[in-house]
């Protein structure tokens, strides 16, 4: 074992981390580029009204996925741990049971979104200037693309369970970039968002085909066999996946739930304001911290499986330390030059005040810290309790926000409620992570 300045890793680990980190860094850089040019160019080519509507409609199907149990994350962790122990048959069992559960879940998801589409009243303030038939077609195309996204999760699991994160990440980077680029360019020639939705769907379909091709190359020793699917293994994987479902639900409430809430009570301009402000001051730092988190999860799983507890603890402490340094720099830069960068970026289209920036920045800081301290629990699939507690507080934040908006409270009040909920989540995860940390021997 060799020490470097930041962490303790073996040579093989360092080589793997370099490849995965590089792929994730390119993915992050691509997203940064897109998020820098996407809002202003969408505003330029599609207009402020269409931009606000597009943000809202793409948030709706994503929010409906709260009924979609993502089995692939739990399966990948279990597959990684058992692959490290050379338990090939068990790895195959986990993979096939995850595949079966995902197919079943797609059927359930169909019932949910069809019911939501036909039973929900789309007569909202944000849709005043769009035809109902056009709106339904746009939603249908976007929702259809999510079927491919759900199926992609099992393909990514089959590629990444043995640490080969870079392959799937590179494919996602390319199609995320191309999808956003062609949607922007479509605004030059069309003013109907149906064309943007078609591009959104085509990109999802093509990405699925590319992932399948690379799955066949990088699946290692995984083979298809329905004999490996059984109720006992499926139920075990189902229980482990509840943690990820709770976390996904929390994320949807914090991100898409907020946008939908604002779309109900405010104009498209306000939705665009919050979306762009959160892109710059919330999502950008979150994506960078996620880069470090996702690069480290497999290494923690590997250390845990091989009982390298000293290495696991040492790297966990170093990761928290450097995350605190990065977030301190982010706070300083956001408060000093953040408003100027935002106004330049959006061409002064929105009026963003300083207090709004503070609320979003500290919400981002607390959530990034929560993401970092939870990595040790995620790497071994042991975080159902903190995930469930976080979900409960997130739902309460959403309900309280809705109640306050019906009373006529301002946007700042809602963001403050969300900030408090995020801080509670940080305390919650810190407690359970430290409890697990001190039990490791």
Of 268 and 305, the structure prediction assigns the larger pLDDT to 305
Residues in the chain, overall count: 441
- Of the pLDDT bands very low, low, confident and very high (cuts 50, 70, 90), residue 119 is low
Task: Work out the number of other CB atoms within 10 angstroms of the CB of residue 424.
Answer: 19
SS3 state at 144: helix
Distance CA 161, CA 73 (A): 10
What average pLDDT is seen over the chain?
84
- Mean pLDDT of the region 423-436: 95
- Mean pLDDT of the region 139-150: 86
**pLDDT at residue 206 in the model:** 95
SS3 state at 225: coil
**pLDDT at residue 69 in the model:** 67
Element (H, E) at 3: strand 2-3
CA dist 383 → 5, 244, 364, 377 (Å): 30, 9, 21, 5
**pLDDT at residue 117 in the model:** 67
- Mean pLDDT of the region 202-224: 89
Distance CA 160, CA 166 (A): 8
Distance CA 18, CA 32 (A): 20
% of the chain with per-residue pLDDT over 90: 25
**pLDDT at residue 428 in the model:** 96
**Tokens encoding 392:** 């409960």
Write out the residue range of the structural domain in which residue 63 sits: 2-439
- Residue pLDDT, tens place only, 354-382: 889 999 999 999 999 999 999 999 988 88
Q: Please say whether the beta carbons of 150 and 106 come within 8 A.
A: yes
Q: Please say whether the beta carbons of 84 and 305 come within 8 A.
A: yes
Whether the per-residue pLDDT at 226 is higher than 80: the answer is no
CA dist 56 → 52, 66, 269, 435 (Å): 6, 16, 11, 40
Distance CA 394, CA 20 (A): 32
Distance CA 324, CA 318 (A): 10
- DSSP secondary structure, 226-275, as one string: GGG--HHHHHHHHHHHHHHHHHHHHHHIIIIIHHHHHHHHS-HHHHHHHH
**Structural domains counted in the chain:** 1
**Tokens encoding 411:** 């946007």
**pLDDT at residue 430 in the model:** 96
Q: Which residue has the tokens 């995965």?
A: 20
Distance CA 28, CA 169 (A): 10
- Of 60, 40, 62, the C-alpha closest to 51 is 40
- Chain-centre distance for alpha carbon 352: 25
- Mean pLDDT of the region 337-349: 86
Whether the per-residue pLDDT at 410 is higher than 50: the answer is yes
- Mean pLDDT of the region 147-160: 87
Dihedral sign for Cα 22, 28, 34, 37, please.
negative
Q: Please say whether the beta carbons of 426 and 320 come within 8 A.
A: no
């Amino acid at each position: 074992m060799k020490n470097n300045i930041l962490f303790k890793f073996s040579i093989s680990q360092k080589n793997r981390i370099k490849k995965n980190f590089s792929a994730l860094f390119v993915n992050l850089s691509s997203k940064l580029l897109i998020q820098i040019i996407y809002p202003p160019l969408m505003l330029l080519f599609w207009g402020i009204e269409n931009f606000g509507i597009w943000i809202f409609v793409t948030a709706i199907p994503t929010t409906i996925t709260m009924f979609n149990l993502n089995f692939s994350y739990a399966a990948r962790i279990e597959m990684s741990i058992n692959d490290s122990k050379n338990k090939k048959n068990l790895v195959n069992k986990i993979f096939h049971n995850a595949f079966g559960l995902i197919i079943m879940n797609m059927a359930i998801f169909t019932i949910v979104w069809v019911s939501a589409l036909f039973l929900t009243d789309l007569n909202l303030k944000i849709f005043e200037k769009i035809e109902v038939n056009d709106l339904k077609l746009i939603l249908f195309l976007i929702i259809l693309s999510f079927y491919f996204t759900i199926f992609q999760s099992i393909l990514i699991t089959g590629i990444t369970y043995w640490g080969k994160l870079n392959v799937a990440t590179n494919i996602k980077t390319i199609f995320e970039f191309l999808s956003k680029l062609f949607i922007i360019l479509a605004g030059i020639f069309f003013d109907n968002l149906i064309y943007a939705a078609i591009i959104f769907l085509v990109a999802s379909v093509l990405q699925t085909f590319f992932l399948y091709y690379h799955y066949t190359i990088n699946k290692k020793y995984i083979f298809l066999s329905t004999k490996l699917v059984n109720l006992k293994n499926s139920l075990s994987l189902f229980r482990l996946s509840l943690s990820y479902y709770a976390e996904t639900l929390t994320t949807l409430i914090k991100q898409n739930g907020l946008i939908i809430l604002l779309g109900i009570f405010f104009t498209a301009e306000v939705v665009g304001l919050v979306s762009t402000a959160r892109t710059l001051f919330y999502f950008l730092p979150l994506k960078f911290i996620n880069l470090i988190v996702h690069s480290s999860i497999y290494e923690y799983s590997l250390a845990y499986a091989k009982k390298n507890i000293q290495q696991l603890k040492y790297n966990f402490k170093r990761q928290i330390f450097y995350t605190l340094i990065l977030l301190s720099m982010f706070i300083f830069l956001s408060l000093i030059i953040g408003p100027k960068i935002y106004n330049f970026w959006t061409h002064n289209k929105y009026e963003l005040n300083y207090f709004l920036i503070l609320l979003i920045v500290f919400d981002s800081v607390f959530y990034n810290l929560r993401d970092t301290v939870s990595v040790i629990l995620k790497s071994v699939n042991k975080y159902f309790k903190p995930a469930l507690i976080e979900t409960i507080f997130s739902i309460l934040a959403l309900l309280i926000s809705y109640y306050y908006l019906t009373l006529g409270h301002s946007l700042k009040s809602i963001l403050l409620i969300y900030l408090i909920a995020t801080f509670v989540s940080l305390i919650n995860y810190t407690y359970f992570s430290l409890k697990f940390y001190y039990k490791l021997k």
